[in-house]
A and B are shown apart, each in its own frame.
Chain A
Amino acid sequence: MTWLLMRIVLSSKLRVFLLLIFYIQTSLIADSPFASKAFGEELSDAIIYKEWPEGGSKEKGRKLKAERYISYGIDINSHVNINVDENKLGALFVQYQPPEKINSRLLLIKELSGNIKGLMVDLKKLYVTWDEAETNPTNDAVKKRNDQIMMFNLAMSKVIKVLKNTIIERLMHQDKSAADAKKEMEAIVIPMLKSDGYDWNAIMGQVGQEIKFLDDELEKASKLKKVADDQPRIKIMAHILRSTEGMGEPIYLPGHNTVEACRPTPVPKVTFNVPDYQKELFNESAINMNEAKSLGEALTQSLEAQGELLKKSLTDAATAVGSALSEAQKSKSTIEFWGDENNIKLWYANLSDTVKKSQEGKNLSEKLNDLPKKIRELDQEINTDIELMNSFSKQKSGLETATPSEALQTILATLSKTQKLPAAISPITWKSRKAAIEELKERFNISPELIATFEKVEINGRNPITDFKSISTAIDSVDLQITSISPEVSAWIKKTLYSQTGLAVTNLQPVLGQEIHRIENKQLDTSFDLKTICGGRNEFETIRVTYQFFQGEDELSAGWYNDFQIRKFGYKDTVVASVAVVNQQSTETYKPTASLSWIIDYTFWPKDSEKGVGSGNEIIWLSGAGITTMALDQDQTQDTELGLALTVSFLNNKILVGYGADLQAKDNREFWFFSINLFETPGMFNGSASQSK
């Protein structure tokens, strides 16, 4: 076995290819973007998530305590309840203080301020009394001295305590923790304890400052009180993040928005379906096996077959992008025309006086104010995308004539310069562009009677409404071309650029019917159901639940988000096409052949205490078990021989080992095999190791 593996490794052609694969895998796959990061203080059970997986082993639901910015993994067919404890939530951040409470603190420290000078005088008198009693220690003198000592101690103790507590309260209202506030307070107060007694100037200075802080706070609180005793309000949003470049799409949260929820659609995990890509790969490998004279050659040819398929897919993608590019370019000059303020002003001026003087005319004028600016912004975005698509589509002619490894290098070089390419060729991007154009077109829709009038008014033979319609049509064509790009290629491009979800997305689409509730509202509980997300979902996409807090007009800094990474837990199947090395009974030779394996693997359901987030790159030593089928050639009397073997897979389905029977052979039917699945193109074989569905 070792000798055999060494022969494979030392084959020079194979070595070059392996180096290329190694480069792809190690240089491009950076730190897992899905590693969950924990920071920020706990939310003290204010929000509890409960995952209810469909068909999972957890009948009671899996409880997850919300912590700021933590990521969790949930099953692709789950729904998650979000239970909000309004009392605990309200206690988590600085509460609005009514003016009366601030005023009582202010009065206390102002009283102190008035007493300090008297205290300084009392201390001087105490030194005199002390000396008098030392000189003439009569009972009365000693008693008088002791009384003065006690009075001074009481008064000075009050000064220090009030000052100390005022400073700590102020610091905690400035979002410092209790421990930090105490530390900072000591840093302020301790220097006031001088070697000769007290630094009275520093004490009075600090008291004056605290009075000023409280005066300001009282003024703010008095204003807030006018806003009907405004308690903090909360906004809960949820989006599905499919990439870092596109916008997060809103999903339905009952009681918080009116986003459409689609018919529940579970994603099957065990389908026994061979993807087309794997079928092609198997066929290519089978053809090549007939010509291979050695195992090394067989493996090389198999790798080349996979490389050719990847090259073909990328070439097709470049063709689609080229077609989309020409559609996008058509709309450019139209957009540029209406981005000029003068043109829209001229058009408006050509409307009849009657229309312009009417209320509808005035409304239209207002709506057209910022239209050129919006057009120019859109134009800029489309320009950027056109450049990106251009750089990708230009590769097409080179790809057609290149070898697979040359093609890969060309594409990788292109992609390394264009991190924004996935967004430029994403249907989501172009759908949002269309929505923007539709919104601008809608501004002209003042009334059904007038729209017909507006469509007849032109400048330089052009009309804005007609032009926006044609831009919208052009964008539809772009979308169509983009959508035709194979999902495997899009996923490959995204993963090659580490464009994983859940990290840097800050662009979230506005949410239809988004509510902002008062925290004391008892109806904050909600949920999201993955099965009802319109547009489907895939493993390793992310649901982001965002919390924002408001008080009056101001957004508070207490907000956060949690990410829920979509996973497939439990049993799922994987189809692996690879080159197997077969040793049939009574022979001493190992013959290569193309094989197709159907493997069932199991990902453990996370427990309550576990986050369940995966990288997709974990090494699983014993990956699964299943069945492998392959063409054999043992019995010369048979035209076709099919081998069927029970199989165990290792190292993320990279190594398969099995034992089976040649169904057509009359003698020596049994065989064993192993196969090595060397070529691992992220995205092409999406998921951790090989093609999952």
Chain B
Amino acid sequence: MRILDVRTSDEAADIQKGRGTLLAEISHPSKTVMIIRGNNPEISRFADAAAGRAAPFPWREVVWVKNSKIFEIGQETQLFGSDASNCAVILNLEDKPTAFLPADSSLLDIEEAFLDTGGSR
């Protein structure tokens, strides 16, 4: 799992670095990427579970964006839509959102979301 955060001491650099990482993961031609946003205990548990389902399969990746400043302007809405309860989005190989998950999703929900991405490059 890639964890992207911003330190107050080096905000600009962290933001730039984070954006670069996010773009690189999304751009990978063969990876299904789950992007998680926010930072609280429930999201942390979700992120661990998601990382657990991604780890055995190199074609799955989880990117946890703890600080929304990392997103480009309008990108967060473009990815997650208008529903604030969506804490994760899965992008298929075409980089299109195929599933949204709330933080209380079960391990089975996460697994099914990864499997149902479809699409190909």
Contacts and interface: CB of A to CB of B under 8 A. Distances in A.
A36 interface: no
Interface stretch (B3-11, B36-44, B53-61, B64-72): B53-61
Contact of B115 (A145, A156, A190, A196): A156
A195 B29 contact: no
A190 B106 contact: yes
Question: Chain B CB within 10 Å — which of A127, A134, A149, A160 has the most?
Answer: A149
Contacts of B112: 157, 160-161
Contacts of A94: none
A160 B115 contact: yes
A146 interface: yes
A157 B115 contact: yes
B108 A146 contact: no
A145 B30 contact: yes
Question: Chain A CB within 10 Å — which of B55, B111, B118 has the most?
Answer: B111
B30 A195 contact: no
B115 A150 contact: no
B12 interface: no
Nearest to A145: B30
A638 to B, nearest CB: 88
The secondary structure that dominates the A interface is helix
A131 to B, nearest CB: 8
Contact of A186 (B57, B106, B116, B121): B106
B118 A146 contact: no
B117 interface: yes
Given A133-B30, A156-B115, A195 B56 contact: yes
A147 interface: yes
Contacts of A186: 106, 108
B121 A142 contact: yes
B121 A146 contact: yes
A4 interface: no
Nearest to A130: B58
A161 to B, nearest CB: 8
Contacts, number: 64
B52 interface: yes
A428 B1 CA distance: 79
Contacts of B57: 197
A627 B55 CA distance: 89
| Tier of interface size on chain A | 20 to 34
A231 B29 CA distance: 57
Contacts of B59: 126, 130, 145, 149
A29 to B, nearest CB: 50
Interface in B63-86: none
A153 interface: yes
A446 interface: no
Contacts of A126: 59
B20 interface: no
Interface string A128-153: 00100110010000110111011001
Nearest to A198: B56
Contact of A193 (B32, B58, B107, B117): B107
A197 to B, nearest CB: 4
B56 A143 contact: no
Contacts of B30: 130, 133, 142, 145-146, 149
Interface string B97-114: 000000000111001101
B56 A153 contact: no
B56 A160 contact: no
A134 B58 CA distance: 10
Contacts of B115: 153-154, 156-157, 160
A164 B55 CA distance: 23
Contact of A196 (B56, B107, B114, B119): B56
A675 to B, nearest CB: 67
B116 A195 contact: no
B93 interface: yes
Question: Chain B CB within 10 Å — which of A137, A153, A154, A195 has the most?
Answer: A153
Contacts of A197: 56-57
| Tier of interface size on chain B | 20 to 34
B29 A153 contact: no
B108 A142 contact: no
A89 interface: no
Nearest to B55: A195
Nearest to A157: B115
Nearest to A185: B108
A149 B121 CA distance: 11
Contact of A150 (B108, B111, B119): B119
A143 B121 contact: yes
A189 interface: yes
Contacts of B106: 186, 190
B56 A150 contact: no
A145 B115 CA distance: 15
Interface in A166-216: 186, 189-190, 193-197
B93 A190 contact: no
A465 B117 CA distance: 86
Interface string A92-136: 000000000000000000000000000000000011001001100
A154 B55 CA distance: 19
Nearest to B56: A197
B53 A193 contact: yes
Interface in A616-642: none
A186 B106 CA distance: 9
A362 to B, nearest CB: 69
Contacts of A130: 30, 58-59
Contact of B93 (A146, A154, A189): A146
Contacts of B121: 142-143, 146
A196 B53 CA distance: 9
A564 to B, nearest CB: 45
Contacts of B108: 160, 164, 186, 189-190, 193
B85 to A, nearest CB: 20
Interface of B: 29-30, 32, 52-53, 55-59, 93, 106-108, 111-112, 114-121
Leading 8 A-B pairs by shortest Cβ distance? A157-B115, A197-B56, A146-B120, A153-B115, A149-B59, A142-B29, A190-B107, A150-B120
9 contacts: A130-B58, A137-B29, A145-B59, A150-B119, A150-B120, A160-B112, A190-B108, A193-B107, A195-B52
Given A127-B58, A133-B30, A149-B32, 9 more contacts: A130-B30, A142-B29, A147-B120, A153-B117, A153-B118, A190-B108, A193-B107, A193-B108, A197-B57
